[in-house]
Amino acid sequence: MSRQIKLIFGAIVIFGLLLPGVASSSSSLSADETQLLQVMHSISSHTLFNYVKELASEKYAGRLGGTEGFNRAAHWAAELFKKWGLKPVGDRGTYFQEFPIAYTLVFPGSEVVMHIPYKGATLKKYYHYFDEFIPGSTSASGEVTAEVVYVGYGVTAPELGYDDYQGVDVKGKIVLMEREVPVSPDKDRDLFLKWRPYSFHQYKLENAAAHGAKGMLYNYGPIANPNNSYREGFIYSHVGPVVVEDIFAGTGRSHKDVVAKIKKELKPQSFATGKIFTIKNKTEHHPEGKCYNVLALLEGSDPVLKNEIIIIGAHLDHLGYCYTLIPGANDNASGVAVTLGVAEALAKSPVKLKRSILFILFGSEEQGVVGSDYYCQHPVFPLEKTAAFINMDGVGCGDKLSALAAKNYPEFWAFFREANERYVHRQIRTSYFANLARPRLDAARFMWKGVPTISWSAFGARSYYHNPKDNIDTITPEIMEDLAQILFLGVVKMANAAQIDFRQGNPSN
């Protein structure tokens, strides 16, 4: 082969690799496809990273639902939707759908302290924010000093013959409690469903308060989490293994063994630990806050098919200050950034979309998946006509993607698989989502309403969850660009397919 022919041959091979199926069947791409790929390549990791940087900055104060910081973020996103010509479909011709939310501000000055008797005096061990404790995001303001009583999972379930509070007196005391319930949905579905109501943080906190406890050390992370109840006078913090091990030290019990025993026998192992602790938090509760979902529509071009809706969404809110800024770069400024990237590309798509695309940035996901629940109770377009919901939560960190519930909806999944296999080539882990546990994603709300849903996240790099280190330093912008490109191509095809019905064949519908 001459050098020139080799070069031409090489170029054909490379072109063929980049565009399999297209290059092999015809000598050039259709005008539509060429333009589509141009728009796809206009999605830039720089732009998406800048969105994350903006949302994770001090200006938005961690975007807690109910606060001015969240409202500023909602307006910032709405301005972009407006700039791209997307239609406002919220309340009274605005981009905003309002709903009520209670919220609590946590100020600096939190403490978790162990009092150690020593030669007739008392030594104090102060724990470290935020790797040893994080203040309860819905704690009351004030200080409590009392003995710690271990109460297992904090569950009182007469119908299950189980009561963690039996035989222990917690009046005026601090309880140390595990999160969740001792049975898992993966191991025994039917048994878990009986325990499920007791897995909610709100139930556990209220049950402790109902038994007269004045405070709680919640063995949860420690992470920040505003998805809980507020009780006047009830002061709590989230603690991790350092605090838990100190409480168990010298009691003749090992924490690991006690938890394993509860799980194995489903019998409480509660006991008074003899350890004295102080929990101190400075907070301010606002029972009558308001939060918003941001709703923008790209109206379909087909007079009939435009009534079928494809939703692309991500939660915009995060945890606010607790008591330093929790920026929420990966969770979930990244999901918002990709939603915006896809929105801009679809708005500029040279191929007109027959179905309508609704973009939703949810409020108050972190406070109990509230915004998506509100939308599902007050949908702007009928849920029966909502063909699909594409959710993103934590898509900014790593080099691999996860598509939760892709195995529930193989025909829905096929659109993204094809886009990835042809153009993007990321490793994607697909999974089945039984959706039995308490809701922890906006995706759960839509699936319970029968809307076919795939929920994206990224993994494969060190990331931080619900603490101050979830900042822009951990973001890998390229994964966001790739996901946005997969979604853009998949959604264009889906919006223009002759017929789509992903509800068929899924047992959860």
Nearer to Zn ion, 214 or 466 (CB): 466
Beta carbon of residue 393, minimum distance to Zn ion (angstroms, whole number): 4
Nearer to Zn ion, 141 or 435 (CB): 435
What residues does 177 pair with on adjacent strands? 218
Nearer to Zn ion, 308 or 331 (CB): 331
> Peptide bond before 362: cis, by omega within 30 degrees of 0?
no
Q: Locate all alpha helices (DSSP H) within 196-333, ordered by sequence.
A: 201-210, 241-248, 255-265
| Residue reference for tokens 């420690």 | 222
Nearer to Zn ion, 331 or 481 (CB): 331
Beta carbon of residue 431, minimum distance to Zn ion (angstroms, whole number): 17
Beta carbon of residue 250, minimum distance to Zn ion (angstroms, whole number): 39
Binding site for Zn ion (CB under 5 A): 331-332, 393
Nearer to Zn ion, 273 or 332 (CB): 332
Q: How far apart are CA 333 and CA 316, in angstroms?
A: 7
Nearer to Zn ion, 139 or 332 (CB): 332
Beta carbon of residue 314, minimum distance to Zn ion (angstroms, whole number): 8
Nearer to Zn ion, 213 or 395 (CB): 395
Q: How far apart are CA 96 and CA 292, in angstroms?
A: 6
Contact 409, 501 (CB under 8 A): no
Beta carbon of residue 507, minimum distance to Zn ion (angstroms, whole number): 27
Beta carbon of residue 361, minimum distance to Zn ion (angstroms, whole number): 12
DSSP letters of 160-191? GTEETTTT---TT-EEEEESS-SS-TTT-HHH
CA proximity to 437, closest of 158, 189, 178, 155: 189
**Residue 509 identity:** N
Q: How far apart are CA 471 and CA 467, in angstroms?
A: 9
Beta carbon of residue 80, minimum distance to Zn ion (angstroms, whole number): 20
Q: How far apart are CA 475 and CA 397, in angstroms?
A: 5
**Residue 223 identity:** I
Which residues 6+ apart lie within 8 Å of 351 measured at CB? 32, 35, 36, 492, 496
